[in-house]
Chains A and B, each alone.
Chain A
Amino acid sequence: MRKFLTLLALATLSLNAAAHGPSPQKVEKTIVIKAAPAKVWAMVKDFGNLQAWHPAIASTKLEKKGEETHRTLTLKNNGGEITEKLRSSDDKEMKLKYEITGGAAPIADYNSFIQVTPGPGAGESSVTWVGRFYRTYKLNPPIPAGQDDETAVKFVTGLYDGGLANLKKVLENSK
């Protein structure tokens, strides 16, 4: 977790509108939680309350922009802000899709989904979080340290590992 916050502190702004990198990156993480799928989904789908389960988030501000739902995440330890847009929230599939629209993350063109599925055991849920994104460096090699694929993948891995572990903790301790 401390590693993750350090990464956030080092993060650079990635709001460049020009061509993203040529090779998209992926992080996919799954955790099993001893709680009913409906209960897990209720927490995951609450787009305006990420701080309720993600340990890196201090607060979430939800905003409606016409038809669209956006949120601004304030990170702990003066880590800055990340803005995100909700793409869809499907109660039947228990799947939430969103994208990052700006802010302090060493990644570009990030889009993601979190999905809750029943099982493997009775009364258990599996939560899968998948992200697709690019490094921030948008020119030919050599690629500077901190703007490369490795940095981007490490950031998202920290985000998912820390988030899912705490989601499990929060849900399993709230019986």
Chain B
Amino acid sequence: MKNLILFTAFSMISTLNACTSTKNETSFAYISNQGDHTVSVIDNAESKVIKTVKVGKGPVGVAVSRALNRAFITNVEGQSISVIDTNTNTVIETIGIKGSPVGIAITPNSKTLYVADWFSDRILAIDTNNYQNRHEVIVAKAPAGLIVSSDSKTLYVAARDSNDIAVIDTSTFSVTKRIPTGKHPFGLTLSADDKMLLSVNVYDNTISITNTDSFKLETIKVGEHPYCVALNANNQTIYVTNTQDDTVSVIDLASKKIMATIDVGMTPEGVSFDALNNQVLVASWGQNQVSVIDAKTNQILSSIKTGDKSRAFGQFILVK
């Protein structure tokens, strides 16, 4: 019996070790602050802003690349993209964009940056080796959220004013399909296996779950004016920011039921899952903060003061 207890104790310790220290990875959040033209860099394990980086005017969208050690920020009012070196957390280059860049995503192979140009109805493809090497395609009215499949072959574009999602073949850079959604799709995300596309419908107060093989669609009711959606690491739980309820809806994917509605700061926008620390980060535009939710208990762990009008639109967590 004593042996068994000892054995249990040992295995518990080794399990703990396995969770915390084998990979030596750390995760950081890059939070765009529209009102003071900065990006707050958060050490997620510490729940602390470690650096505030001055970027262009009206930063919104965020894309990060571990392979390139870069964070890319769209400055919609400044008509540019700030390129941040994530080793030094300084802006090393500013790419001019003639238009209104909002949504941004990078291919998982880090070769191409996609930028949604809000008023010009187009998507720009920018070569990360040479920012002047660009292509563009007209997609739909008011392109917003972007997400790329893990094989880098498919780009999904939420077309806010067309009420659909454009599916783009990245090899030909052309639209291959349009998936009708609810009213005003905005933020979107993909499951790790690429089988499920999640998108919010701002005017319907719903999210759409689209099967990426059959294109069959399911709808779940959420809160008022949802903006962004994130999925946890094992594809079981969905998190949705409800901008006009000041809440996050937590949805169990299997049962499609709302498990919790969490009060966060005023006007929550960007949301990402921090797998390393099993927590959810929510940027609060109205509160100038990031709310950290414990993914296990659905309780608020902390509220981190950021800059003015935090948005963090896109995949804003970088693992190093």
Q: Which residues of A contact B (CB under 8 A)?
A: 18-19, 22-24, 26, 97, 111, 130, 132, 138-141
Contacts and interface: CB of A to CB of B under 8 A. Distances in A.
A93 B99 CA distance: 42
B163 interface: no
A140 B100 contact: yes
Given A19-B161, A23-B60, A138-B119, A132 B267 contact: yes
Nearest to A139: B119
Contact of B161 (A18, A26, A132): A18
Contacts of A18: 141-142, 161
Interface string B166-194: 00000000000000000000000000000
Given A19-B141, A26-B309, A140-B98, 19 more contacts: A18-B142, A19-B118, A19-B160, A19-B161, A22-B77, A22-B100, A22-B102, A22-B119, A23-B34, A24-B285, A24-B309, A26-B35, A26-B286, A111-B244, A130-B286, A132-B286, A140-B119, A140-B120, A141-B77
Interface of B: 34-35, 58, 60, 76-77, 79, 98-100, 102, 118-120, 141-142, 160-161, 244, 266-267, 285-286, 309
B244 A140 contact: no
A160 B161 CA distance: 31
B275 to A, nearest CB: 30
28 contacts: A18-B141, A19-B118, A19-B141, A19-B142, A19-B160, A22-B60, A22-B76, A22-B77, A22-B119, A23-B34, A23-B58, A23-B60, A23-B76, A24-B285, A24-B309, A26-B35, A26-B285, A26-B286, A26-B309, A111-B244, A130-B286, A138-B119, A139-B119, A140-B79, A140-B100, A140-B120, A141-B77, A141-B100
A132 B227 CA distance: 15
A165 B309 CA distance: 26
Interchain residue pairs A-B with the least CB separation, the first 7: A19-B142, A22-B76, A23-B58, A22-B118, A140-B119, A19-B161, A22-B100
Contacts of B34: 23-24
A141 B78 CA distance: 9
Contacts of A130: 266, 286
A18 B161 CA distance: 7
A68 B134 CA distance: 49
A26 B34 CA distance: 11
